[in-house]
Amino acid sequence: MTWPDGATHAVSITVDVDGTYGLPRGGEGSSERLTARSERLYGVVRGVPRLLDVLAVAGVSGTFYVPGAVAIEHPATIAEIAGAGHEVAHHGHRHIRPGLLSAAEQLRELEAGVDALESVIGSRPTGYRAPEWELTPDTLAALPSLGITHDSSLMCDDRPFEVTAGEGTLVELPVHWSLDDAPHFARGGDPHVLTSIWDDELVCARAERRHISYTMHPEILGRPHRVCVLERLVERAAAGGAWLAPHRDVVAHVAA
């Protein structure tokens, strides 16, 4: 593959802004758990600005996957993300794992998410990522008719590929748990170890001249002592000659 401007490889920074909907079953039954809710809320209030600052300093545009209900609850923050040039994409409506819902409910979640994002940022999303990375056949099949052209929920390759979705196709930009901050910090991980792992992955992507997506959460990587992981990642990506681009631009390039 070749990348714009002679870049050796391509890197996407993706951020899942789950807010309190990131709690189990989208926070259903957790309304009285003030501390658990406040831990998630930190991501929107403090984590997002911190991540945005790092991206602004580095001049990097990323893709922010946002559940519709989070956009409705925090419209100014989500509009600010879009206004800074980042892609705002679909991450369900209430961030409920699709596999827990019927096909009809899955469709309603998808439609509600599109409507919510459109109402907040003024345009319909073209990218989708399944809540909790559990894509189902019903959700996948419904995506093209909603205007979605790319998905980022599968792990069966480490290069962009085409995936059949109902009667259409999508570009898949694959992910992996080792490229996600959540498992690493689930039990108090060391940021320096994650920096080392993510840098090794960068070296591999460069050697294979391919695209790679990193996934982070503002309530996790946006904590003060962890944001250095993103700082070093974008520094090293740029120093290595990568094209740093949001998913929509990677898809446009791959399709062209």
* Contact residues: a copy of itself, CB under 8 A: 32-39, 41-42, 45-46, 99, 130, 133-138, 140, 153-158, 174, 176-178, 183-193, 196-197, 200-201, 204-205, 208, 223-226, 228
Query: Cβ closer to a copy of itself: 122 or 187?
Result: 187
Query: Cβ closer to a copy of itself: 41 or 244?
Result: 41
Please, which residues bridge with residue 242 across strands?
Answer: 9
Give ∠ CA 21-40-65 in degrees, rounded to 5: 55
Query: Cβ closer to a copy of itself: 121 or 173?
Result: 173
Query: Cβ closer to a copy of itself: 159 or 253?
Result: 159
218 phi, psi to nearest 5 deg: -65, -25
Q: What is the rounded distance in angstroms from the CA atom of residue 47 to the CA atom of residue 17? A: 9
Provide the minimum distance between the beta carbon of 148 and a copy of itself in the complex, in angstroms, as a whole number: 15
Provide the minimum distance between the beta carbon of 125 and a copy of itself in the complex, in angstroms, as a whole number: 19
Query: Cβ closer to a copy of itself: 6 or 224?
Result: 224
**Which residues lie below 8 Å from residue 105, measured CB to CB, with a gap of 6+?**
none
Minimal CA–CA distance to 98: which of 63, 67, 62, 135? 135
Provide the minimum distance between the beta carbon of 158 and a copy of itself in the complex, in angstroms, as a whole number: 6
Query: Cβ closer to a copy of itself: 123 or 190?
Result: 190
Place of tokens 């982070």: 216
Q: Which two tokens stand for residue 122?
A: 């003024």
**Cα Rg of the chain, angstroms:** 17
Minimal CA–CA distance to 146: which of 189, 109, 94? 109
Q: What is the rounded distance in angstroms from the CA atom of residue 21 to the CA atom of residue 23? A: 5
Query: Cβ closer to a copy of itself: 134 or 162?
Result: 134
Provide the minimum distance between the beta carbon of 90 and a copy of itself in the complex, in angstroms, as a whole number: 16
Q: How many CB atoms lie within 10 A of CB 198?
A: 22
Provide the minimum distance between the beta carbon of 165 and a copy of itself in the complex, in angstroms, as a whole number: 11
Provide the minimum distance between the beta carbon of 54 and a copy of itself in the complex, in angstroms, as a whole number: 13
Provide the minimum distance between the beta carbon of 178 and a copy of itself in the complex, in angstroms, as a whole number: 6
218: helix, strand or coil: coil
The alpha carbon of residue 71 and the mean position of all alpha carbons in its chain are separated, in whole angstroms, by 14
